[in-house]
């Protein structure tokens, strides 16, 4: 089984009841892999939502070590957390509240994704001639979420030009987001983005960094790579495509979620298992109890559908997943209390994948890793410390 049977030297307590072991070397390797593929476009590593559940600071450092030159987060607070950890690489934050205030973003040299006239005005208010706000203008090219609407491109670009003239902002970038609905839809968005670029330049703006593609677009449609690609789910070694696994894309899943059996019991055929008795074994069998539940982000939808790794093989989750625990049918496997349980990890090591869990839960792999709760302790066997994110 290779890595499936190897012990892990974790940075935290070896006795952690619930843990997510994060391979920072895999994150660095994933950046390097995608970076080589999309060159000369640069790579922005997206570490929002605590690094998709992997830990924002360790993921950011690993990504920079792998060659990323930008970091992306949802909001300014996430960006400031990176700064407070000593990371100095360029960071873009693009999701803001209804009444945004950007003084802290400017003070911490965080680039601001601007999607509305109000956000542009607030960025200009926060900037000064000696410390202008760094801005990436976002345009809506068809996704229907945030971004300046087509009918306002000219007026917002003109307002941005005026703020640049007053030395209150610097327009460093122009960006949008693909729908990933189809190649045709995404290429239509690319055409729209090129139109926005032309309008911005005709009005005197010169965005030096244009970005449109996230992992899916970057891997599937080379034309969308432009100057920079935003590497999100691919950063963590997971595939953005249905029916295409990580290995096919040359990516390594970075997270392994595991625990230990805390109870093992023999039951007779027909014994009801967990709430509602939604499972009764057809034959006498061994059951194992795992101390993880929906309070830890384990989808209740995997009840009677998902599986975990115990003793070198997959065993089904049976009965309803509860708040703090779930049951596994071990069959005739000679398990004992304390045996290692892997919920998901790298299938190259023989483990169930985040993709298989997503299929069982009728969701996507993004949600499987991101939803893990705070009781699941993140551990980093190999921390990448060579880069503190200071630009050369």
Binding residues for substrate: 145, 323
What does R_g of the chain's alpha carbons equal in angstroms? 24
Helices marked H in 18-67: 24-38, 48-52, 56-65
Residue 373: Cβ-neighbour burial (10 angstroms; 0-12, 13-18, 19+): middle
Q: Which residues, other chains included, contact 321 with Cβ-Cβ below 8 Å and sequence gap of 6+?
A: 274, 293, 294, 298, 299, 300, 302, 303
- Concerning whether 279 is annotated as a catalytic residue, the answer is no
- The span from the CA of 33 to the CA of 87, in Å, is 23
- Concerning whether 366 is annotated as a catalytic residue, the answer is no
Q: Please check whether residue 220 is in contact with residue 183, taking contact to mean a CB–CB distance below 8 angstroms.
A: yes
- The span from the CA of 237 to the CA of 53, in Å, is 13
- Please enumerate, by residue number, every residue annotated as part of a binding site: 145, 323
How, if at all, do strands 285-290 and 326-331 pair?
A: antiparallel
Quote the distance between the C-alpha of residue 308 and its chain's center. 22
Cβ density class 311-335: b for 16+ within 10 Å, e for less = beeebbbbbbbbeebbbbbbeebeb
The residue annotated as part of the active site, out of 48, 52, 138, 366, is: 48
- The span from the CA of 19 to the CA of 214, in Å, is 29
- The span from the CA of 215 to the CA of 234, in Å, is 6
CA distances from 55 to 85, 147, 296 (A): 12, 28, 16
How, if at all, do strands 19-22 and 377-379 pair?
A: parallel
CA quadruple 106, 149, 216, 377: dihedral sign: positive
The residue annotated as part of the active site, out of 265, 275, 277, 336, is: 275
Directed axis angle between helix 153-165 and helix 117-126, to 10°? 10
Length in residues, the chain? 392
Residue 291: Cβ-neighbour burial (10 angstroms; 0-12, 13-18, 19+): middle
Residue 298, both tokens: 């384990």
Give catalytic residues, as residue numbers.
Answer: 48, 275
């Amino acid at each position: 089984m290779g890595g499936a049977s190897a012990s892990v030297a974790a940075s935290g307590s070896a006795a952690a009841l619930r843990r997510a072991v994060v391979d920072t070397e895999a994150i660095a390797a994933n950046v390097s892999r995608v970076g080589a593929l999309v060159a000369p476009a640069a790579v922005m590593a997206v570490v929002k939502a605590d690094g998709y559940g992997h830990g924002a600071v360790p993921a950011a450092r690993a990504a920079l070590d792998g060659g990323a030159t930008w970091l992306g987060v949802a909001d300014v607070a996430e960006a400031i957390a990176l700064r407070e950890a000593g990371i100095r690489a360029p960071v873009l934050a693009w999701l803001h509240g209804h009444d945004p205030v950007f003084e802290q973003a400017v003070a911490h040299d965080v680039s601001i994704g601007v999607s509305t006239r109000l956000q542009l005005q607030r960025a200009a208010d926060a900037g000064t001639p000696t410390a202008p706000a760094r801005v990436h203008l976002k345009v809506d090219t068809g996704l229907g979420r945030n971004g300046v609407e087509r009918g306002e491109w000219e007026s917002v670009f003109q307002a941005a030009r005026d703020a640049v003239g007053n030395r209150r902002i610097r327009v460093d970038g122009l960006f949008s987001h693909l729908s990933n609905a189809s190649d045709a839809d995404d290429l239509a968005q690319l055409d729209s983005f090129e139109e926005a670029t032309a309008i911005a330049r005709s009005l005197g703006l010169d965005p030096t960094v244009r970005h449109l593609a996230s992992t899916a677009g970057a891997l599937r449609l080379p034309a969308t790579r432009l100057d920079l690609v935003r590497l999100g789910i691919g950063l963590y070694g997971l595939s953005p495509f249905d029916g295409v696994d990580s290995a096919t894309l040359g990516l390594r899943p970075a997270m392994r979620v595991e625990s230990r059996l805390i109870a093992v019991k023999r039951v007779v055929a027909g014994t009801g298992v967990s709430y509602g008795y939604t499972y009764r074994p057809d034959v006498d069998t061994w059951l194992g109890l795992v101390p993880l539940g929906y309070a830890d982000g384990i989808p209740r939808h995997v009840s009677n559908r998902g599986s975990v790794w115990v003793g070198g093989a997959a065993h089904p989750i049976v009965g309803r997943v509860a708040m703090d625990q779930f049951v596994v049918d071990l069959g005739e496997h000679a398990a004992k209390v304390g045996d290692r349980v892997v919920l998901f990890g790298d299938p190259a090591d023989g483990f169930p994948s985040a993709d298989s869990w997503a299929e069982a839960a009728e969701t996507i792999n993004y949600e499987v890793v991101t939803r893990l709760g705070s009781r699941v302790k993140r551990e980093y066997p190999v921390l990448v410390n060579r880069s503190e994110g200071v630009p050369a």
